[in-house]
């Protein structure tokens, strides 16, 4: 076993060597612009892009024509949400949830300042929304234009009831967008089965390169209309101007194809590793609890609260293991996780929580090492903590 150990795979993943191998020719001798239609360099690049477009589409049950390449899920989310509202005249009602990623919450806040109505649904203690609550909103006089919910939460791994949400939205004539950056390639996602109209993907969450992503845009039943957010060339069917990142696109396509083929096996392996880590931590420590859903959860996710221990101090005590206390997009802030607070955790408990993100390259030996060291460090910190003495 090699140190340090990486267990922050929700923040980003190591690029798979097979993905890098697919990308390398497009970083060297195959350097054409995919928009150059007058010579072989451009034709080859265009063909590589279209092959990758089909690979991304196959992962989520879409057609290649429905895939728009972006710089990542954040851009995809902004294009989906703001683009749908602006295509509707700039004023609309948008529904999202309290545990959503900032890449959705922030665009919603931006729209709200410009006259849109935004409804943020609460979640239960597992982090799941209520279908009944959503139905009441969809059935109201102020029917939303768009509903946007994460498929899988980036901090607690909770999976939303996507099939039920999609069916309800479709039946009411409301667009359904989901940020599937954490879910695509890890759990089955099918845009037609789940009646998804817009779906965001990020390459670096599925062992592909950073700086590349995609947005699925439904072309029929209904045909989704979006207003472009970047202008200057009309690339990607006019929805995303800018010279295509051919090496990144090839890498995203390869990552999606690998995930599609190996998903079932990887799901079982990561679930077993996650459960092993959870069991060892629960057996070795008291006053520890799992956050989120036990049943509806990503296979590699484990978010736990260690009472009486500050999460930042705990992570400093296990320097050989890369962990996080929440979303990488907000980890520089000292505020407690908005996700954990939405589940009902108080500020102290939220500051005592750690996210373990197991991935493709983690091993059983690494899990055992991590569990042993977490247990050891937590015990030592509690011995020094007057706050914990009050709990025992």
Q: Kindly report the CATH number that applies to the domain delimited by 17-258.
A: 3.40.640.10
The predicted pLDDT at position 331 comes to 46
Known catalytic membership, residue 116: no
What is the Cα–Cα distance from 320 to 277, expressed in whole angstroms?
A: 16
Higher local confidence (pLDDT), 234 or 213: 213
* pLDDT band, very low/low/confident/very high, at 210 (cuts 50, 70, 90): very high
Decide: 7 and 323 in contact? Cβ < 8 Å.
yes
* pLDDT band, very low/low/confident/very high, at 388 (cuts 50, 70, 90): low
Work out the average pLDDT over 321-340.
75
Which of 169, 172, 256, 329 does the annotation list as catalytic? 329
If you average pLDDT over every residue of the chain, what do you get? 95
* pLDDT band, very low/low/confident/very high, at 390 (cuts 50, 70, 90): low
* pLDDT band, very low/low/confident/very high, at 238 (cuts 50, 70, 90): confident
What is the Cα–Cα distance from 90 to 29, expressed in whole angstroms?
A: 45
End-to-end CA, the chain: 36
The predicted pLDDT at position 234 comes to 84
Q: What is the pLDDT of residues 197-209, one digit of tens each?
A: 999 999 999 999 9
* pLDDT band, very low/low/confident/very high, at 311 (cuts 50, 70, 90): very high
Which strand ranges, in their side-by-side order, compose the sheet holding 67-70?
A: 67-70, 213-217, 198-202, 175-179, 146-148, 93-97, 117-121
**pLDDT over 70 (residue 328):** no
Work out the average pLDDT over 35-58.
96
**pLDDT over 50 (residue 267):** yes
What is the Cα–Cα distance from 281 to 321, expressed in whole angstroms?
A: 15
The predicted pLDDT at position 385 comes to 74
- Tokens (6 digits) for 280: 């060892």
Report the percent of the chain where pLDDT is more than 90: 91
Decide: 299 and 186 in contact? Cβ < 8 Å.
yes
Q: Domain map of the chain by residue range?
A: 5-12+263-391, 17-258
**pLDDT over 60 (residue 392):** no
Higher local confidence (pLDDT), 331 or 10: 10
Q: Is 3.90.1150.10 the CATH classification of the domain at 5-12+263-391?
A: yes
Buried residues in 81-115 as b, exposed as e (16+ CB within 10 A): bbbbbbebeeebbbbbbbbbbebbbbbbeebeeee
> β-strand 301-306 against 198-202: which pairing, if any?
unpaired
The predicted pLDDT at position 335 comes to 80
Host H or E run for residue 374: helix 364-384
162-172 and 131-138 helices, crossing angle to 10°? 10
* pLDDT band, very low/low/confident/very high, at 342 (cuts 50, 70, 90): very high
The predicted pLDDT at position 270 comes to 98
The predicted pLDDT at position 233 comes to 82
Report the percent of the chain where pLDDT is more than 70: 96
**pLDDT over 80 (residue 329):** no
């Amino acid at each position: 076993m090699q140190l340090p150990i990486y267990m922050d795979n929700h923040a980003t993943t190591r690029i798979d060597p097979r993905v890098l191998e697919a990308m390398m020719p497009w970083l060297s001798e195959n350097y054409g612009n995919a928009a150059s239609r007058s010579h072989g360099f451009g034709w080859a690049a265009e063909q590589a892009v279209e092959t990758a477009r089909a690979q991304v589409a196959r992962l989520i049950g879409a057609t290649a024509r429905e895939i728009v390449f972006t710089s990542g899920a954040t851009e995809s989310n902004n294009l989906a949400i703001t683009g749908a509202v602006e295509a509707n005249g700039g004023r609309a009602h948008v529904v999202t949830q309290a545990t959503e990623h900032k890449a959705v919450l922030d665009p919603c806040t931006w729209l709200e300042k410009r006259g849109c109505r935004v409804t943020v649904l609460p979640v239960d203690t597992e982090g799941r929304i209520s279908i009944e609550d959503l139905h009441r909103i969809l059935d109201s006089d102020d029917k939303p234009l768009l509903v946007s919910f994460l498929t899988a939460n980036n901090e607690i791994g909770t999976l939303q009831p996507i099939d039920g949400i999609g069916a309800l939205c479709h039946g009411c004539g409301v667009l359904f967008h989901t940020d599937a950056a954490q879910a695509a390639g890890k759990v089955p996602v099918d845009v037609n089965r789940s009646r998804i109209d817009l779906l965001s993907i990020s390459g670096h969450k599925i062992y592909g390169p950073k700086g590349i992503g995609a947005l699925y845009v439904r072309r029929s039943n209904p045909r989704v209309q979006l207003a472009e957010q970047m202008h200057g060339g009309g690339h990607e069917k006019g929805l995303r101007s800018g010279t295509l990142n051919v090496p990144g696109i090839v890498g995203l396509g390869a990552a999606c194809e690998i995930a599609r083929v190996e998903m079932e096996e990887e799901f079982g392996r990561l679930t077993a590793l996650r459960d092993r880590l959870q069991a060892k931590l629960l057996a070795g420590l008291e006053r520890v609890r799992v956050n989120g859903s036990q049943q509806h959860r990503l296979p590699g996710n484990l978010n736990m609260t260690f009472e009486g221990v500050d999460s930042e101090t705990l992570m400093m005590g296990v320097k050989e293991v890369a962990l996080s206390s929440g979303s990488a997009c907000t980890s520089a802030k000292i505020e407690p996780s908005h996700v954990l607070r939405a589940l009902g955790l108080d500020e102290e408990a939220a500051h005592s929580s750690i996210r373990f993100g197991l991935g493709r390259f983690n091993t059983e030996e690494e899990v055992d090492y991590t569990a042993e060291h977490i247990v050891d460090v937590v015990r030592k910190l509690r011995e020094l903590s007057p706050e914990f003495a009050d709990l025992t």
